[in-house]
């Protein structure tokens, strides 16, 4: 009897200890939120006209922090919590998830080649565009789905083709179709890496979109809505190339204006951007500058919303727009196996011991970054959160910078969008902002 009494006492002590730790963490929440709001406010006073950041701590609802202006022209308006932003390459996580769903359904395998996909007995008539592309460019035929997903295919980036930008400059409302867009990448020299080093290429994901259509017999937009948006209740996310025309009034009313600073070829070259980006014709001398004065910023920005409607965005590589809250919902669904199986998520994150992660050339003092399947895997290299793991994806469009992350050990998700593009923000400024955010979030998970 005494033995049973002792066990009960120890159990109660453990429960009390856990409850005390939970209470301590809950007491940290107002302090954590205050620190995040200050960080967001500082950002809008130093390097971005506006920002929206959504966070979900364990056991808490999604909390959104905003600062700065969604529109600087009169009537000037502050950023709102339900504003819509372009998400750029975060779109690649949706594309990768659909490919992995098709693998879960045994309709594809990661290591089958594009030639295998085209020759599949279950292919549909929608496979014809992809079949024609790999017939015209035979080097594509042995490339595997895994190589497309982790950027080891060696296929050139369609955005590195100057002809793409010239086409866009002549018609900024142009809506790109996959067979047209993909040619800008596949027609450039192929530079295989042997699978050891990733070379980021948007073309990989345009090809994956063509695979999705060919295998499913449905458009990419139909797949996104039926497989992801509808079952996950992502009511504030749109695939812009097709959804914009049907939701134009709502999206225009809710879209925060994006701004860019680097407006001339000379500006781009000064900042050291590669030749194809330096020749990118961003609204040069075609629109009046919008003077923005916010804290330390005093500069002439160009308002992207005045230059083209949002439907011109990329396809399966960068065509999404939505709220930061929906991005948090999306990555939470992904990590909790509500989208793909546990085995598929494991593959996405590099497999056993993450041995399948791929190195990339670029890196920072703050983070080590590796490619998974449609995602980045980050390790913090400095600060109080040193050693912390994050995974997710970022994206940039002219006028917008978006990042989405999940911290698996801390069970924390966050996403943010700044209303200026990556080329208008010095990289160290951006990475230091994220490092400070991660430090705050990791500290929130510790008991005092």
pLDDT digits (tens, 9 = 90+) for 294-344: 444 445 667 776 665 555 556 777 788 999 999 999 999 999 999 999 999
| Nearest alpha carbon to residue 35 among 447, 448, 442 | 442
- pLDDT per residue as tens digits for the range 42-61: 998 888 889 999 999 999 99
Mean pLDDT of all residues in 137-160: 93
- pTM comes to 0.88
Q: Give the DSSP letter of residue 226.
A: I
Euclidean distance between CA atoms 237 and 175, whole angstroms? 19
Mean pLDDT of all residues in 82-90: 91
Euclidean distance between CA atoms 282 and 396, whole angstroms? 14
Mention every residue, 6+ apart, whose C-beta is less than 8 A from residue 296.
45, 46
- Which of 162-171, 294-303, 385-394 has the weakest average pLDDT? 294-303
* Model pLDDT, residue 54: 98
Euclidean distance between CA atoms 152 and 87, whole angstroms? 23
CB atoms within 10 A of CB 290: 17
Beta-bridged to residue 298, according to DSSP, are: 293
Q: Candidates 1.25.40.10, 3.40.605.10, 1.10.287.110, 3.40.710.10; correct CATH number of 85-254+309-444?
A: 3.40.710.10
According to DSSP, the β-strands at 297-303 and 320-322 are: unpaired
Backbone CA torsion sign across 95, 379, 440, 69: negative
Taking 80 as the threshold, does the pLDDT of residue 6 lie above it? Answer: no
* Model pLDDT, residue 77: 87
φ/ψ of 78, rounded to 5, equals -75, 160
* Model pLDDT, residue 38: 97
Mention every residue, 6+ apart, whose C-beta is less than 8 A from residue 417.
51, 52, 85, 86, 87, 256, 324, 400, 401, 402, 403
Could you give the percent of the chain with pLDDT greater than 90? Answer: 51
Euclidean distance between CA atoms 374 and 97, whole angstroms? 8
Q: Give the DSSP letter of residue 276.
A: H
Q: Which residue has the higher pLDDT, 393 or 124?
A: 393
Euclidean distance between CA atoms 385 and 362, whole angstroms? 21
- Which of 179-183, 190-194, 286-290, 368-372 has the weakest average pLDDT? 286-290
Length of the chain: 448
Taking 90 as the threshold, does the pLDDT of residue 82 lie above it? Answer: yes
Is residue 51 within 8 Å of 437, Cβ to Cβ? no
Is residue 414 within 8 Å of 394, Cβ to Cβ? no
Euclidean distance between CA atoms 33 and 63, whole angstroms? 8
Taking 90 as the threshold, does the pLDDT of residue 413 lie above it? Answer: yes
CB atoms within 10 A of CB 213: 23
Is residue 165 within 8 Å of 280, Cβ to Cβ? yes
């Amino acid at each position: 009897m005494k033995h049973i009494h002792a066990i009960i006492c120890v159990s109660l002590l453990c429960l009390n200890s856990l409850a005390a730790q939970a209470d301590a963490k809950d007491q940290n929440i107002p302090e954590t939120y205050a620190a995040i709001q200050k960080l967001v406010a500082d950002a809008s006073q130093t390097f971005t006209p506006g920002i929206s950041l959504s966070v979900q701590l364990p056991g808490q609802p999604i909390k959104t922090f905003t600062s700065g202006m969604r529109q600087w022209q009169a009537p000037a308006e502050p950023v709102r919590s339900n504003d819509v932003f372009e998400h750029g390459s975060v779109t690649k996580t949706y594309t990768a998830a659909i490919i992995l769903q098709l693998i879960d359904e045994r309709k594809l395998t990661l290591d089958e080649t594009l030639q295998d996909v085209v020759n599949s007995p279950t292919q549909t008539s929608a496979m014809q565009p992809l079949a024609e592309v790999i017939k015209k460019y035979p080097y594509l035929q042995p490339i595997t789905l895994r190589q497309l997903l982790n950027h080891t295919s060696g296929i050139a980036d369609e955005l590195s083709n100057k002809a793409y930008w010239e086409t866009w400059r002549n018609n900024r409302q142009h809506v790109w179709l996959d067979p047209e867009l993909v040619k800008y990448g596949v027609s450039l020299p192929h530079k295989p890496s042997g699978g050891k080093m990733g070379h980021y290429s948007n073309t990989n994901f345009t090809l994956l979109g063509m695979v999705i259509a060919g295998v499913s017999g449905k458009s990419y937009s139909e797949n996104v809505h039926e497989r992801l948006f509808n079952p996950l209740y992502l009511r504030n996310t749109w695939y812009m190339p097709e959804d914009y025309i049907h939701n134009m009034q709502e999206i225009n009313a809710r879209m925060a204006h994006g701004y860019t600073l680097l407006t001339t070829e000379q500006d781009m070259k000064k900042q050291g951007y590669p030749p194809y980006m330096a020749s990118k014709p961003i609204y040069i001398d075609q629109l009046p500058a919008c003077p923005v004065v916010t804290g330390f910023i005093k500069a002439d920005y160009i308002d992207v919303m005045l230059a083209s409607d949002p439907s011109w965005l990329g396809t399966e590589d960068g065509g999404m727009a939505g709220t930061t809250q929906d991005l948090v919902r999306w990555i939470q669904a992904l990590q909790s196996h509500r989208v793909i199986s546990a085995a598929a998520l494991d593959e996405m994150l590099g497999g056993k011991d993450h041995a399948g992660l791929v190195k990339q050339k670029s890196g920072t003092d703050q983070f080590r970054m590796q490619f998974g399947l449609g995602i980045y895997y980050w390790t913090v290299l400095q600060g109080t959160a040193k050693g912390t793991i994050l995974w997710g994806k970022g994206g940039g469009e002219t006028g917008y910078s978006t990042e989405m992350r999940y911290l698996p050990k801390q069970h924390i998700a966050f996403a943010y969008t700044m209303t200026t593009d990556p080329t208008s923000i010095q990289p160290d400024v951006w990475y230091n902002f994220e490092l400070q955010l991660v430090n705050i979030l990791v500290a929130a998970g510790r008991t005092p």
